[in-house]
């Protein structure tokens, strides 16, 4: 996509996050119920996830897990935007609005330790759970994503754009995946040592060498970090396979094209998949085809002239 189109895709994320922050800062000043017809504004502190899920978990485990999960989703969003095979501004904008809302709530957890909800819709006898602007806009994002998938599903998963082999060049692709995982694990190890040591020393400085408090805070941290690390490695492996497939696939296709061309097959051609790297190989293949046809034509003319002279 062009730079202008990328700007159109990123702007909804920034706009969603900014609008959410502004409204929540305003909502923190609400001291009593404000009603405007069926819409009511009242301040709620949501210590869990959507609709208060996981609010009974220990605060360290809950806040860290949900915040880190949001960071994972942000990274996943960036990967999806990169790996999407079509432009589809509707789908990409929907993803941006969705992740903007999620990051808005994650920002709350990082800053305050809870999410600010302040909107209730309904009557005293029947009303919705408290929510915020980020929650509402997330549903807009979901709607745009579903609409785009229904409308452009054939473009997202075209039958003629899928290779039959997931592992085109298994040694190279596995090596690529393990290198990527190795880098990720190295960074994870550095972060784990720093975080664990920092937390342990900080707790000891505050409350002394209290085994109960150390276990209360450090054990959930270690468990959460291990789960995140395993998920991170799995994602890195999957991403490595996808990216390496886009590298190895074109080279495999070009090699097959060269073999067909050398065998003299007239129908030899190269057509890469959407999203593949080395797209310039298609032009190179066309040039090779033209040159081979030209050489074949020249040889045919020479043979005819030779026979006529003979």
What confidence tens digit (pLDDT) does each residue in 148-203 have? 888 876 666 555 555 667 788 889 999 999 999 999 999 989 988 998 898 889 88
270 touches 281 (CB < 8 A): yes
Q: Is the pLDDT of residue 139 over 70?
A: yes
Q: What average pLDDT does range 83-101 have in this prediction?
A: 87
Q: What average pLDDT does range 25-40 have in this prediction?
A: 89
The pLDDT of residue 25 is 93
Give the residue numbers marked as catalytic. Answer: 117, 135
Residue 10: other Cβ atoms inside 10 A? 15
133 vs 155, higher pLDDT: 133
Residue 60: other Cβ atoms inside 10 A? 16
Beta bridge partners of 120: 40
Residue 93: other Cβ atoms inside 10 A? 21
Q: pTM value?
A: 0.68
Supply the mean pLDDT for the chain: 84
Q: Is the pLDDT of residue 303 over 70?
A: no
């Amino acid at each position: 996509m062009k730079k202008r189109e990328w700007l159109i895709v990123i702007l909804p994320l920034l706009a969603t996050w900014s609008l959410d922050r502004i409204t929540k800062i305003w909502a923190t000043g609400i001291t009593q119920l404000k009603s405007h017809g069926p819409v009511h504004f009242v301040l709620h502190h949501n210590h869990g996830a959507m609709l208060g899920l996981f609010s009974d978990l220990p605060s360290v485990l809950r806040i860290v897990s949900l915040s880190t999960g949001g960071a994972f989703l942000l990274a996943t969003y960036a990967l999806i935007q990169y790996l999407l095979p079509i432009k589809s501004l509707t789908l990409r904008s929907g993803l941006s609005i969705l992740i903007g809302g999620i990051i808005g709530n994650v920002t709350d957890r990082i800053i305050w330790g809870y999410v600010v909800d302040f909107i209730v819709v309904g009557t005293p006898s029947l009303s919705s759970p408290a929510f915020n602007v980020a929650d509402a806009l997330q549903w807009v994002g979901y709607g745009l994503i579903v609409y785009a998938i229904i409308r452009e599903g054939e473009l997202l998963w075209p039958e003629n754009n899928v290779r039959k082999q997931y592992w085109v060049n298994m040694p190279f692709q596995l090596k690529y995946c393990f290198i990527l995982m190795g880098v990720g694990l190295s960074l994870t190890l550095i972060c784990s040592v720093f975080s664990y040591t920092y937390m342990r020393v900080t707790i000891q400085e505050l409350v002394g060498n209290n085994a109960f408090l150390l276990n209360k805070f450090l054990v959930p941290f270690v468990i959460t970090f291990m789960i995140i690390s395993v998920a991170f490695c799995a994602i890195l492996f999957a991403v490595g396979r996808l990216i390496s497939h886009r590298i190895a696939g074109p080279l495999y296709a070009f090699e097959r094209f060269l073999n067909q061309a050398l065998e003299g097959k007239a129908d030899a051609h190269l057509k890469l998949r959407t999203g593949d790297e080395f797209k310039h190989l298609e032009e190179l293949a066309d040039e090779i085809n033209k040159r081979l046809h030209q050489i074949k034509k020249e040889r045919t003319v020479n043979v005819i002239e030779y026979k006529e002279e003979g």
